[in-house]
Chains A and B, each alone.
Chain A
Amino acid sequence: MANRDIDITVRAGTVHALCGENGAGKSTLMKILYGMQQPDEGTITIHGEQVVFSTPGDAIARGIGMVHQHFMLADNLTVLENVVLGAEKLHGIGGKARKRIREISDAYGLGVRPDVLVEQLGVADRQRVEILKVLYRGAKTLILDEPTAVLVPQEVDALFDNLRELKAEGLTVIFISHKLGEVLSVADEITVIRRGTTVGTAEPSTTTPKQLAELMVGSELPTPETEESTVTDIALLEVDGLHLAQTDLDGIERVILDEISFTIHKGEVLGIAGVEGNGQSELVEAIMGMRDPDAGTVTLDGADVSHVPTRRRREAGIGYIPEDRHRHGLLLEAPLWENRILGHVTERPNSRRGLLDPKAARTDTERIVADYDVRTPGIDVTAASLSGGNQQKLIVGREMSHSPKLLIAAHPTRGVDVGAQAAIWDYIRAARRDGLAVLLISADLDELIGLSDTLRVMYRGRLVADADPRTITPEELGSAMTGAASGHLEHTEDDAR
């Protein structure tokens, strides 16, 4: 996606938020600012001086540092080793470096311990290490790419405290996000990007999330509220006593899924909340048949499918929106119409009696592209050339095209722009009215609360709590996700802020 006519001014000592749909060109802009990509025209000016970055090294030399969305840390090294890696010349690799790390950590309230192994750190701590890494290299301007995507609300608050600390010390933060509430709470200024160009700026104090979102998509948008309940009493998916253990490299057996039991009825959306890595992915894979559970049963529409191969489960009516679409949902270098066949190769219109039917598959791909608003110049381009949101819409369209009985949606709107997000919610809601059962896993608590009929919280491989989505708040859910609460979560007025 190209950028054009980007105008952005970031004042020193502020937190400047950059929002926009996915595919709007935020990433490209960041790559240009960080020297990973060169602009065709236009200039970058720092403190009145025009600069040209041809490598990230140039950007770092000018005091610009980037914290990537996906952490770039070596798990088996200590924090100290990770920080000095590649910057050994600054303060060596020993005591001086350790001292400097402590200084930075104290100055900005990061609370980083230099001698801990990174693998022992949680997500939030890793993020602070990443920030420290950038500061250690002398950055005065920090670019944070979707820093809150992996954090629970409490951790987000802590991160924002860190950012305010940085700001107070005169550093500048560029903060990329499409979670509008967060943007409004932390930013001093907001720039909105749409379709590759800056479309406006907003003042957080006088802007509502809704106004901001409309600026991002250029139109009005809905919220993830479900209407009246469509839950029936016909059980569609019954999971009973599911147990999965894995032996890791050190020979220690780790329980990944522990006695998981739940039932989803026709027309019901069951939401599972939880910090990532607490067994949600494995649960989905066990239901999909990609992992074989050690014990327990999975019953789909009355039939025991506990050990049935994935393809048969798909044919029996499971639709799957995977959490990582690049790894599990797409063939990136294949054209869109082949991606439309993926996962449904045995079903019409993709094939007949063992033979592919490319013509029918292509026609149907055209239909999906039109119905699900997949923005592409044609169905012969590779999946890799679409933006994340459009890839996701193609997947949703594909899975919905085989009228599933059960939809497993893992982070269905992650990395998807606001417009596509609303569309995906609408598809799920519409299918739910027709009796679809949905297992929804999401890190977006508003999405979970808004879409689900029933909520469960997963923590360390177990379903530890359940809650009523009509009354629960994200904060209350968040505390259960960190293991601080269990059982039936009751909304109490004291908790509400």
Chain B
Amino acid sequence: MNKLTSRIDKERLLLGIAAPLLAIVAALLVTALVILATGKSPGAAFSDMVTYGFASDSQVYILNKATTYYLAGVAVAIGFRMNLFNIGVDGQYRLAAFVAAVLGGALTVPGWLAIPLIILAAMVTGALWAAIAGILKVTRGVSEVIATIMLNSIATAIIGYLLQPSQLGQLDKAGTLVSTKPLPESSWFFQIDTGPAGVLWGFIVVAVIVGIGYWFVLGRTRFGFDLRTVGQSETAAAASGVGVKKMIATSMIISGAVAGLIGMPTLLNDSHQFSNDFPAGIGFTGIAIALLGRNNPVGIALGALLWGFLERTTNHLEFQGYDKEILGVIQGVIVLCVVIAYEVVRRYGLKRQQQRVGAELAARAAAPTEMQEVA
């Protein structure tokens, strides 16, 4: 019995890895074809990506990027586990980063107090912004997809309005960049100087803590079990005693709170202010990464690293005379393949397990079956 269960488990693990691997291989193939079509050599491009991507300065760059992407992936994954599509992560983190930057610029308290306050402000902002969609969904039945997409636009408009020199923004000396008042140096997050390779953002520690928290809450607590139950079957969840509506609203709020963290590595470790060139669109990157990582905390980390790697290396390819659109092609194809591969592998796995269980039971019962005749 034990042997069998371990075998089924191993197979599940194998199937779990098969899908993203399949997707990445397919994406590489397609990319190779695209590069070939532009008349260049894919082999040279790939080898350049590998050598450049594993250089030590690239590694630090990738880790820093992945910190942001990881938080985005987790924020989206929390929704996914609930069958909620939080497209609004993008607006939630931008608004959260803006509010946090304004607060951080205005605070005059010591860093040990200011940094937690800034992070808290970001999480609360993200949570409240997401809560609008959550509450609309449970009270009025508004699809969270529609609500969050619209909230993204509203967030953009609000930030645009408030980030004017006459409001909360200020024009830099060159007169080209509008930003919030910069954070005092005491409010910067710690960072690790790795010498010539660059500076590693200290916020990676927070990202790791978030990952562990995500795993623990979902996998090891009653609350997490309730959340997963709702995600798998709302009807079964209701019958089992989970307040489905409350759960939907709660998980939307948690997703938003984590989304609030996305802008923090950039704000606290890098830019120290919110300007009109603050990175945008990371919420959508998070969707791709959560899909790639199968909502699994380790998987999301791998996905985030891969995304960082692709960005770093394709940037470099541009200098080697390749087209910069290759990045988009690879990323797009990966996401597309991932979605297809997961569904195929999932169906195959379910069917295979059913057959295995059937075969196993039939084999066990095979001994006492001889034909009987009544009357």
Closest to B372 in A: A200
A295 within 8 A of B: no
Also in contact, A327 and B235, with CB within 8 A (given A197-B369, A354-B222): yes
A241 part of interface (Cβ distance < 8 Å): no
CB–CB B374/A202 < 8 A: yes
Q: Which of B221, B243, B358, B365 sits near A354, CB closer than 8 Å?
A: B221
Q: How many A-B residue pairs have CB under 8 A?
A: 148
- B side interface size, CB within 8 A: 44
Q: Is residue B195 contacting chain A, with contact meaning CB distance below 8 A?
A: no
Given contacts A343-B241, A378-B1, contact A2 B225 (CB under 8 A): no
Q: Which residues of B contact A2 (CB under 8 A)?
A: 355, 358-359, 362
State A379–B357 Cα separation when bound (angstroms): 11
Q: Which of B222, B228, B236, B355 has the most CB of A within 10 A?
A: B236
Which of these, A199, A207, A215, A331, contacts B232 with CB under 8 Å? A331
Take A345-B225, A386-B357 as given contacts and tell me if A330 and B371 are in contact as well, using a CB distance cutoff of 8 Å.
no
CB distance from B108 to the nearest CB of A (A): 39
B350 interface contact, C-beta 8 A: yes
Within 8 A of A (CB), among B198-237: 219-226, 228-229, 232-233, 235-236
Docked complex Cα distance between A200 and B369 (Å): 11
- Which of B2-10, B51-59, B315-323 makes up part of the contact surface? B2-10
Given A200-B373, A212-B374, A356-B222, do A376 and B236 touch, yes or no (CB 8 Å)? Answer: no
A355/B220 in contact, CB under 8 A: yes
Q: Which residues of A contact B41 (CB under 8 A)?
A: none
Q: Which of B226, B228, B233, B235 has its CB near the most chain A CB atoms (within 10 A)?
A: B233
Contacts A356-B225, A378-B4 given; does A309 touch B232 at CB 8 Å: no
Taking the complex as formed, is A304 at the interface, i.e. its CB lies under 8 A from any CB of chain B? Answer: no
Contact in complex: A327, B372 (CB < 8 Å): no
A341 lies within 8 A of chain B by Cβ: yes
> Contact check: which of A290, A377, A380 meets B238 at CB < 8 Å?
A290
Q: Which residues of the other chain, A, contact B224 by a CB distance below 8 angstroms? A: 356
**Does A385 reach chain B (CB closer than 8 Å)?**
yes
Residues on A with C-beta less than 8 A from B375 are 202-203, 206-207, 211
- Measured CB to CB, the nearest residue on chain A to B2 is A378
Q: Across the interface, do B232 and A334 meet the contact criterion of CB distance under 8 Å?
A: yes
**Shortest Cβ gap from A277 to chain B (Å):** 18
| Residues of A311-352 whose CB lies within 8 A of B | 311-314, 320, 322, 327-334, 338, 341-346, 351
Give the residue among B4, B225, B232, B353 with the most A Cβ atoms within 10 A.
Answer: B225
Please report the C-alpha to C-alpha distance between residue A160 and residue B374 in the assembled complex, in whole angstroms.
Answer: 24
CB neighbours of B374 from chain A (8 A): 200, 202, 207, 211-212, 215
Interface 1/0 per residue, A194-227 and B, CB below 8 Å: 1111111111001100011001001000000000
Asked if B145 CB lies within 8 Å of chain A CBs, one says no
Is B186 on the interface with A (CB-CB < 8 A)? Answer: no
Does A381 lie at the interface of the complex (its beta carbon under 8 Å from any beta carbon of B)?
Answer: yes
In the complex, the answer to whether A377 meets B362 with C-beta atoms within 8 Å is no
Q: Give the chain A neighbours of B238 by CB distance below 8 A.
A: 290, 310, 328
Within 8 A of B (CB), among A149-202: 194-202
Chain A nearest Cβ from B295, distance in angstroms: 13
Which residues of A from 1 to 52 have beta carbons under 8 Å from B? Answer: 1-2, 4
* Interface check A288, CB cutoff 8 A: yes
The proximity string for B residues 337-375 relative to A, scoring 1 for CB distances below 8 Å and 0 otherwise, is 000000000000010011111111110010011011111
Contact A1 B358 (CB under 8 A): yes
CB-contact partner of A218 in B1, B225, B358, B368, under 8 A: B368
Dominant SS among interface residues on chain B: helix
**Residue A230 interfacial (CB < 8 Å):** no
Q: Residue A382 at the B interface, CB < 8 A?
A: yes
B21 located at the interface, meaning its Cβ lies under 8 Å from any Cβ of chain A in the complex: no
| Residue numbers in B under 8 Å from A338 (CB-CB) | 225
- Docked Cα-Cα span, A1 to B220, in Å, equals 33
Q: Are A311 and B4 in contact (CB under 8 A)?
A: no
Do A1 and B221 touch (CB < 8 A)?
Answer: no
Check A485 for interface membership: any CB of B closer than 8 A.
no
Instruction: Return A147 CB to nearest CB of chain B, in Å.
Output: 24
Whether A235 sits at the interface, judged by CB under 8 Å, is: no
Kindly list chain B residues whose C-beta atoms are within 8 Å of the C-beta of A345.
222, 225-226, 229, 240
Q: Complex formed: what's the CA distance from A332 to B231 in Å?
A: 12
Chain A, 259-291, contact with B by CB distance < 8 Å: what is the 0/1 string? 000000000000000000000000000001110
A134 to B356, alpha carbons, bound, how many Å?
34
Check if A488 is an interface residue, CB within 8 A of chain B: no
Partner of B357, one of A198, A201, A351, A376: A376
Q: By the criterion CB–CB under 8 Å, are B236 and A377 in contact? A: no
Structural contact, B372 and A331, CB atoms closer than 8 A: no
Q: Show 27 A/B contacts (Cβ-Cβ < 8 Å), sorted by A.
A: A2-B355, A2-B362, A4-B362, A195-B369, A199-B369, A201-B373, A206-B375, A212-B374, A290-B239, A309-B241, A311-B242, A320-B239, A327-B239, A331-B236, A338-B225, A345-B226, A354-B221, A354-B222, A356-B220, A356-B225, A378-B1, A378-B4, A380-B5, A382-B350, A384-B353, A385-B354, A386-B357
Closest 6 CB pairs of A and B: A311-B241, A378-B5, A343-B240, A328-B239, A206-B375, A310-B241
Beyond known contacts A200-B373, A218-B368, A312-B241: 13 more, CB 8 A cutoff: A200-B371, A207-B375, A211-B375, A215-B372, A311-B242, A328-B238, A342-B240, A345-B225, A351-B222, A377-B360, A381-B353, A381-B357, A382-B350
